[in-house]
Structure 1
Amino acid sequence: MNFVDKDLLSIQEARVLMEEAREAREAMLTFSQERLDSAVECLAAAAKELAEELAALSAEETGYGRQQDKVLKNRFICDTLPGRLRSMKCVGILHEDARERTMDIGVPVGVLVSLTPAYSPVSTAIYQVLTAVKSGNPIVIAPHERASKVTARLIDRLAEAARDCALPEGAISCLKTVTKSGIRELIGHPAAAMVINTGVSDLCREGAESGKPYIYGGTGNSPVFIERTADVRQAVCDIIASRTFDHGIVPAAEQYVVADSLIAEEVRAEMVKNGAHFMSEEEEKKLVNLLCPEKGKADMEVMGKSALHLARWAGFDLPDSVRVLVSQQKYISDQNPFATEFLCPVLAYYIENDWLHACEKCMSLLVKSHGHTLVIHSKDEEVIRQFALKKPVGRVLVNTPATLGSMGATTNLFPAMTLGGITAGAGITADNVSPMNFIYRRKVGYGVREAGEFLKGFRNPPSEEEEEDVKQLLKQILETLSRELD
């Protein structure tokens, strides 16, 4: 009987990849920023050639999302990210202050281990590779088991392109025998300098306890507040477009709509006009049974599907014009299934009397869901600032769709597929993760003062008794010298 232990194979493969990456790091430490930049351009071009093919493979292998939207994400990273990276300096002399006589030197942190998700496997892996190479670091991708084939296809092509642009062997690699044991080996390997986890929540504890610097792009469940001064038509249009993009599989997408009571009816009417269906109590029960067959746990098999698919699977028919399913809610509780992260076009709808109550509602939703992003639609700058000041999130987006705004498509935030957060209690940054998160700054300071000057200036002055003792000693010395001269 032939028996193959997949865990052992995965662990062995992980060790080989990490040793190769360790050797690649030594070579890459000698690379200039210009050489790394040239490699980034080459890799982006290679990835772009496969944008459509990989979008189709991703949708087919994972069963998540909408192929056309995946093409847009892949092209966005391949086109936009290199342009943003060109102006960045990550390695070598970053800053020199001639007046203060100081310098900042950018130094790569070392081998990066990146855990990529099933919902955006291709765009996330492309982005991680480009930012790693830009900052002079080798990277080993640990793909989600559900997206292992499409990720391997991408990394094989990027590794081939890396050889063409003279990157060392092992600079870009991917775990192909994917098991949790193999991924744990990558995380815990002595060569691993940093771990980046983009939404793989079941491995969050391993990353956080690894003893390595850990970046966690956590769950979304983003609340959005429509304040009474907002352009309601545009706000609703943005929310529906964002929540339905890639069939709602992007974690940053809005999940909770909080409307000011003064405009709540207008918001509701506009949502219906844009394809929202407010469910009856019976329809909600059917949908929850589909989405959460186990209490408090979402069924990932039905995520990333259209609203019509979800409704029909749940057992109720809707017109073809329906794009998103909405449940009107009053309270937040542990028993409420809509507090679970749903990566599909489903929204919970709340009404609050004013922005202060809306502020508290959003705060409660963020704490409950560990969300990393908040959206506000408003023309009142003071309200916007109050929301920005008080919310425990990594980013606050204003008058823009959460999905596209968070990744930098409709905002000037750094183009990123890993969005740091703080409410999940894991990770070292709340940034849109960039190459600057993958370096450390070596400080250089030239001497500008003599040591004697420093010591003289900071010595404690003598006491009166000490001064008197010195005077008496000097007097005795002078008297002795005088007698000897006589």
Structure 2
Amino acid sequence: MATLDKDLLAIQEMRDAVTRANSAQAAYLQFSQQQVDTIVKAVADAAFKEADRLAKMAVQETGMGIPNHKKMKNEVASRDVYEDIKDLKTVGVIGVDRLKKVTEIASPFGVIAGIVPTTNPTSTAIFKTIISLKTRNGLVLSPHPYAVKCTKEALDVCRIAAEKAGAPEGLLQCLTMSSMEATQQLLKHPNIHLILATGGGALVKAAYSSGKPAYGVGPGNVPAYIEKSANIAKAVRQLVQSKSFDNGTICATEQAIIVDRSIAQQVMAELKKNHAYILSDEEKLKMEKMISPVPGKVNPQIVGKSASCLADSVGITVPDDTKVLVGVETMIGKNIPFSLEKLSPIFALYTVEGSTEAKQVMIDLLNIGGRGHSCAIHTENEALAEQFAIDLPVSRIVVNTLSSIGAVGGTTGLAPSFTLGCGTFGGNITSDNITARHLMNIKRMAYGIKDVEVPKPAFEITPLVENIKAQEPTWDNAVVQQIVDEVLKQIVLQKN
């Protein structure tokens, strides 16, 4: 018996999933705000309850990150996202400006294709499900090949809770066959109406090239500046906590520390106190080969691994309680491994003479990867923080907090999100933290509130004469009479 081609099976699975999601979404379109909100709450509660189990599944399947950290991410994706959007109106009339007589009406996009990364497979699935349901959209998830089981399980938790709360069957779908061909065809499917792309650069580029509306996000290469006025002990503690959180798998995690020379020794001492291991020159060379065996490209094998594991893999002995590895660096470039986005607990450390040089180092780091994403500043100088925010080509400037958790809305007032727009700095359509507000059309019904008098067109004899000349090349009494008659006719019309 002949075996069916894997890609063909995956493509058929994708087509069936899109068909089911579209049928269910047509029914979901008729749901009231109260029905929608009941479903969204049920899903958020169910996902929050399963946060720990899903986190363990993700670590076991991908080999990346730390279970109790992934649990926190699942909790943010469920509880925090829900709390942020629970009162948002997404059905029918959502706003009325009585003075301008404009009424705003929400309309869903339809069916959304969600690309899910291997670094945050369950939290991203929960997040995209909740914001899609809130806005009456269907959803088809395409997991990373290394995270299919845990992504599908996260979606199943949400799907079962949604259907128990009254959602149409088939509204939430997850592809399971790990086919790049099927994913690419999903992005171009005529019944997919929006793409939410969170993942590697190639997939984001494919989303933007699909001919569909797409929210794609760029890479992060987050620089963190410790300015001389900062609370050094607190700043360093937060940086180490942030960098070691889930072994650095959040794209908003700091990648390089920039420190004023006048406080450099204090920062070094605090780093060691917080279980950071400062690499010697020889050890740094070994780590560089591990980070980027091919110049300009980060080794995917380092992503989400612990500091001890990374050190051990290149024969470096570090204390068992080591949280991050730090390499002292002076250069920036695609061929300088420590200056790249490493998605692991490895820091570059740059020393600068002051804020002017610090700003340039940050810009240079962002320019090799990470423009438009995020940066962190530790300072007690509010004017300096504001000036950096004005000058740096990033969408999120987090001050005196952990960038990894702060940029996604965990420790700041930013909208909780696992899809962070990079604006035109990074080739994206938005610089926002993507959330439910971005997943609906807003129609506007506007009454006339001003009367205008449309002026009559001015009468011009020249075009009239030219028109007659074109038809009648010879001038005679008949032509002249035609012109006179037409002029008199237009004068009468103008008066009326």
TM-score, normalised via structure 2 length? 0.89
Query: For residue 365 of structure 2, what is the aligned residue in structure 1?
Result: 365
Deviation (angstroms), 1:395: 0.9
Maintained 8 Å contact 1:65/1:304: yes
- Match of 2:368, SS state, is helix
Query: For residue 163 of structure 1, what is the aligned residue in structure 2?
Result: 163
Query: For residue 126 of structure 2, what is the aligned residue in structure 1?
Result: 126
Query: For residue 345 of structure 1, what is the aligned residue in structure 2?
Result: 345
Maintained 8 Å contact 2:78/2:130: no
Q: Distance in 2 between matches of 1:189 and 1:415?
A: 29
Q: Distance in 1 between matches of 2:394 and 2:90?
A: 26
Residue segments in structure 2 that go unaligned for 5+ positions in a row: 461-487
Maintained 8 Å contact 1:214/1:427: no
Q: Distance in 2 between matches of 1:24 and 1:93?
A: 23
Q: Distance in 2 between matches of 1:358 and 1:338?
A: 17
Query: For residue 224 of structure 2, what is the aligned residue in structure 1?
Result: 224
Give the stretch that moved more between structures: 114-123 or 320-329. Answer: 320-329
Deviation (angstroms), 1:425: 4.0
Query: For residue 75 of structure 2, what is the aligned residue in structure 1?
Result: 75
Deviation (angstroms), 1:339: 2.8
| Cα distance, 1:462–1:370 mapped onto 2, change above 3 Å | same
Q: Distance in 1 between matches of 2:323 and 2:377?
A: 22
In structure 2, what residue type is equivalent to 1:202?
A
In structure 1, what residue type is equivalent to 2:144?
H
Maintained 8 Å contact 1:275/1:323: yes
Q: Distance in 1 between matches of 2:366 and 2:291?
A: 21
Query: For residue 310 of structure 2, what is the aligned residue in structure 1?
Result: 310
Matched, 1:29 2:23: no
Query: For residue 283 of structure 1, what is the aligned residue in structure 2?
Result: 283
Query: For residue 469 of structure 1, what is the aligned residue in structure 2?
Result: none
Maintained 8 Å contact 1:366/1:423: no
Residue segments in structure 1 that go unaligned for 5+ positions in a row: 464-472, 478-486
- Match of 1:187, SS state, is helix
| Cα distance, 1:462–1:424 mapped onto 2, change above 3 Å | closer
Matched, 1:397 2:398: yes
Q: Residue deviations 1:188-230, cap 9 Å, x none?
A: 1001111111123231221011111111233222101111111
Q: Distance in 2 between matches of 1:112 and 1:80?
A: 22
- Match of 1:369, SS state, is coil
Matched, 1:153 2:150: no
In structure 2, what residue type is equivalent to 1:326?
V
Q: Distance in 2 between matches of 1:284 and 1:41?
A: 49
In structure 1, what residue type is equivalent to 2:106?
G
- Match of 2:453, SS state, is helix
Query: For residue 202 of structure 2, what is the aligned residue in structure 1?
Result: 202
Q: Distance in 2 between matches of 1:338 and 1:424?
A: 22
Q: Distance in 2 between matches of 1:263 and 1:15?
A: 59
Q: Residue deviations 1:374-424, cap 9 Å, x none?
A: 111111121111111111112111111001101111101111111111367
Q: Distance in 1 between matches of 2:93 and 2:312?
A: 59
Query: For residue 181 of structure 1, what is the aligned residue in structure 2?
Result: 181
Maintained 8 Å contact 2:334/2:340: no
Q: Residue deviations 1:147-205, cap 9 Å, x none?
A: 00111122223222222122122211100112101111110100111111112323122
Query: For residue 480 of structure 1, what is the aligned residue in structure 2?
Result: none
Q: Distance in 1 between matches of 2:282 and 2:4?
A: 49
Alignment of 1:247-266 (within 5 A): 247-266=247-266
Q: Distance in 1 between matches of 2:303 and 2:60?
A: 14
- Match of 2:131, SS state, is helix
Give the stretch that moved more between structures: 322-331 or 20-29. Answer: 20-29
Query: For residue 191 of structure 1, what is the aligned residue in structure 2?
Result: 191
RMSD: 2.2
Q: Distance in 2 between matches of 1:157 and 1:326?
A: 39
| Cα distance, 1:63–1:460 mapped onto 2, change above 3 Å | same
Maintained 8 Å contact 1:251/1:343: yes
Q: Distance in 1 between matches of 2:91 and 2:288?
A: 50
Q: Distance in 2 between matches of 1:383 and 1:424?
A: 22
Q: Distance in 2 between matches of 1:429 and 1:396?
A: 16
Query: For residue 95 of structure 1, what is the aligned residue in structure 2?
Result: 95
Maintained 8 Å contact 1:339/1:369: no
TM-score, normalised via structure 1 length? 0.91
Query: For residue 136 of structure 2, what is the aligned residue in structure 1?
Result: 136
Runs of 4+ in 1 over 4 A off after TM superposition: 458-463
Deviation (angstroms), 1:301: 2.2
Maintained 8 Å contact 2:112/2:195: yes
Matched, 1:242 2:242: yes
Query: For residue 377 of structure 1, what is the aligned residue in structure 2?
Result: 378
Matched, 1:454 2:450: no
- Match of 1:440, SS state, is strand
In structure 2, what residue type is equivalent to 1:386?
Q
Q: Distance in 2 between matches of 1:316 and 1:363?
A: 32
- State how many pairs are aligned: 465
Maintained 8 Å contact 2:198/2:204: no
Q: Distance in 1 between matches of 2:23 and 2:392?
A: 43
Query: For residue 52 of structure 1, what is the aligned residue in structure 2?
Result: 52
Deviation (angstroms), 1:329: 1.1
